Amino acid sequence: MKFDVAIIGSGLAGLSVALHLAQSRKVAVISKRSLLDGASNWAQGGIAAVLDSRDSAEQHISDTLIAGAGLCDEGATRYIVEHGRAAIDWLIQQGVPFTRDPTAELGYHLTREGGHSQRRIIHAADATGHAVQVTLERQARSHPNITILENHIAIDVIKSDRVTPGIGNPRCVGVYVQDIDSGKVITLAADQTVLATGGAGKVYLYTTNPDTATGDGIAMAWRAGCRVANMEFIQFHPTCLYHPYAKSFLISEAVRGEGGVLKLPAQAGAAAGKRFMPEHDERGELAPRDVVARAIDFEMKKRGLDYVDLDISHQSPEFLKEHFPTIYARCMEFGIDITRQPIPVVPAAHYTCGGVVTDMHGRTDLPGLYAVGETAYTGLHGANRLASNSLLECLVLGRAAAQDIERQPTPKQMSLPAWDESRVTDADEEVVIAHNWDELRRSMWNYVGIVRTTKRLERAQHRLRLLKEEIYEYYSHFRITPDLLELRNLVDVASLIVDSALSRRESRGLHFSQDYPDTLPKALPTVLTPAGKQA
């Protein structure tokens, strides 16, 4: 199959690139499952942008830099913030049904989240990601220049030096993709390839991410020789619903933004009902996510708790049903009436702040290969992502990447090799994959969590080294399956996270080490370079 542009991933970043390119390019969108199965569809809070005269780009930039603990790239932050209004205008033009407020300047309701000095989060009730994704999906499906390949999983990008050994300055010329339903591997040629596969939350045992978040783009780019940066900064969302059947359901930060308070649960005995955040930070529940997550983790470990309570029952039932209809309905399914009782919550892996190193056009180290969204490292998020900046980054960099692709000359056509399965057989024991998957995620949760030590990180590094050998041996001998491909990507990404964490000899933002509790005077990103590449 041949396309002008192959986009791996169907979230907001991927669909943004596709729709901006579709007027002039033949585009393929490759989705592991359906178009709505990515993390963008799950995003509750909204999109941060300067949309009110009482706000300013300088305030938004300042809030981002403060949350990022000195590690944000100021140039990237300014570029993304200053293009925020145009990104929102584009979504409104596409027909996204943001929540309206006739008293507001723009006519849309703006909410506030932790770390923001102003109300600047435009949203569609508490299901913004879904509203945006449904709107863009409809446009993508109906566009004649966009081909959608659902239930297809990318294996690896194809480099020109694989096609013609010894070629100078290799570039990306396509991607190998497996049709999950048939098992057939397709060689997909593309002039430009875009990685928009989201983050890597499934590397942890507990996560707010969908099952598709297995770090595929980051792992593929690393194997192709691209640098990655700041992988130690994994954001744990402070408030994931604690219930045995509530898989990966997060309670939006907007609940705290609208007055929700964190309290100790009945399990805490005499201290039950006590509000604890003011003891940890003067900003209380509106402190940045890393502070809130560590505070909850501290209270749970100190008191042996399974969870803490998030209480917003002091607000009127009408207010809660209007502002948080999805959260209200989901909690009611589990017998939790948020208008009358607190919500049990725990921290869970939520967002990958690092990723594939790119410039402001989404370009990676490999010509012809781009990365956008959570897969990429632009420098915007620094050591801790400011709430609701992620969808903004998807939109702004998605458009920038599309514009850069349109400026690229058409490369010389190459005949790509077919996928070779001649030396592999069907797997003898699938249980090996399931066991390794479980061991990897438990090791990451136990040793590379919210609070870290050098000893725990070294334990994780040792276990991952053994797991990687086992997984790669399995990959070499047996016919591929989606589970095996995801496991291979997860072990690569897990190793990048641990190696990055071990190299940071300080505590900063989301990375907190008991062995290095102080913050160094100079903030530097952690940049990892593949073996054999120039640093």
Supply 518's token pair.
Answer: 């102080």
Predicted confidence at residue 535, as pLDDT, reads: 46
- At residue 310, φ and ψ (nearest 5 deg) are -115, 115
Supply 113's token pair.
Answer: 């989240």
For domain 431-528, which architecture applies? Up-down Bundle (1.20)
Nearest Cα neighbor of 10 from 95, 137, 131, 127 is: 137
CB-CB contact of 202 with 188 (8 Å):
no
List 527's β-bridge partners, or say none: 229
- The superfamily (CATH) of domain 2-232+351-407 is FAD/NAD(P)-binding domain (3.50.50.60)
d(CA 408, CA 248): 40
23-37, 361-375, 410-424 — which is least confidently predicted? Answer: 410-424
Does residue 168 surpass a pLDDT of 50?
Answer: yes
Supply 18's token pair.
Answer: 């596709």
Mean pLDDT of 27-56: 89
Q: Where are the domains of the chain?
A: 2-232+351-407, 241-348, 431-528
Neighbours of 411 (CB within 10 A): 15
Task: For 373-394, write each residue's pLDDT tens digit.
Answer: 999 999 999 999 998 999 999 9
Mean pLDDT of 255-276: 96
Supply 390's token pair.
Answer: 């992620």
Known catalytic membership, residue 289: yes
pLDDT band at 224 (very low <50, low <70, confident <90, very high): very high
Query: 241-348: what CATH class?
Result: alpha beta
The tokens 């190793």 sit on which residue?
Answer: 495
CB-CB contact of 157 with 335 (8 Å):
no
Q: How far is CA 125 from CA 94, 118, 299, in A?
A: 18, 18, 31
Residue 312, classed as helix, strand or coil, is: coil
Task: For 282-309, write each residue's pLDDT tens digit.
Answer: 999 999 888 899 899 889 888 989 899 9
Whole-number mean pLDDT of the chain?
93
Supply 447's token pair.
Answer: 């040793």
Show the DSSP H helices in 95-210 as ranges: 128-142, 160-163
Does residue 425 surpass a pLDDT of 80?
Answer: yes
Nearest Cα neighbor of 419 from 219, 165, 158, 152 is: 158
For residues 416-443, one letter each, b for 16 or more C-beta atoms within 10 angstroms of the residue's C-beta and e for the rest, the string is beebeeeeeeebeeeebbeebbeebbeb
The tokens 């491909």 sit on which residue?
Answer: 485
CB-CB contact of 311 with 274 (8 Å):
no
What is the number of residues in the chain? Answer: 535
- Tell which wins on pLDDT, 430 or 361: 361
Contacts of 221 (CB under 8 A, 6+ apart): 157, 195, 228, 356, 364, 366, 369, 371, 375
d(CA 146, CA 144): 6
Task: For 70-79, write each residue's pLDDT tens digit.
Answer: 999 999 999 9
d(CA 458, CA 455): 5
Predicted confidence at residue 532, as pLDDT, reads: 62
CA atoms within 13 A on the CB side of 366: 32
Task: For 480-493, write each residue's pLDDT tens digit.
Answer: 999 999 999 999 99
Task: For 236-256, write each residue's pLDDT tens digit.
Answer: 989 999 988 887 788 988 899
Predicted confidence at residue 534, as pLDDT, reads: 52
Predicted confidence at residue 36, as pLDDT, reads: 79
- Out of 171, 289, 330, 441, the active site residue is 289
For residues 90-127, one letter each, b for 16 or more C-beta atoms within 10 angstroms of the residue's C-beta and e for the rest, the string is bbeeeebebbeeeeeebebbbbbbbbbebbbbbbbbbb
Kindly calculate the radius of gyration of the chain based on its CA atoms and give it in whole angstroms: 22
CB-neighbour burial class of residue 318 (10 A; exposed 0-12, middle 13-18, buried 19+): exposed
